[in-house]
């Protein structure tokens, strides 16, 4: 292959990797925003509601998502 073809191939590969990386970053950003919105809803609860929430599946799911995000 000529150097020009090789450079073109590298550029195409780079663009593919860049696009995939940006998609992953956008997905992580969307998940982070969802987690923040869920936390905001928790802050609106009173102590009794937080006590009930503490033992809920909703709390377990949020905790799992946050732990995954922090890995």
pLDDT of 4 above 90: no
**Does the predicted TM-score (pTM) go above 0.95?**
no
What does the pLDDT look like over 35-62, one tens digit per residue?
999 999 999 999 999 999 999 999 999 9
Ramachandran angles phi, psi of 70, nearest 5°: -85, -5
Average pLDDT over all residues of the chain: 87
Please state, in angstroms and rounded to a whole number, the distance separating the CA atoms of residues 42 and 37.
9
């Amino acid at each position: 292959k000529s150097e020009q073809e090789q450079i073109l191939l590298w550029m195409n590969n780079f663009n593919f990797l860049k696009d995939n990386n940006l998609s992953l970053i956008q997905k992580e950003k969307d998940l982070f925003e969802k987690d923040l919105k869920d936390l905001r809803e928790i802050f609106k609860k009173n102590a009794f509601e937080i006590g009930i929430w503490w033992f809920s599946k909703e709390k377990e799911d949020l905790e799992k998502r946050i732990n995954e995000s922090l890995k």
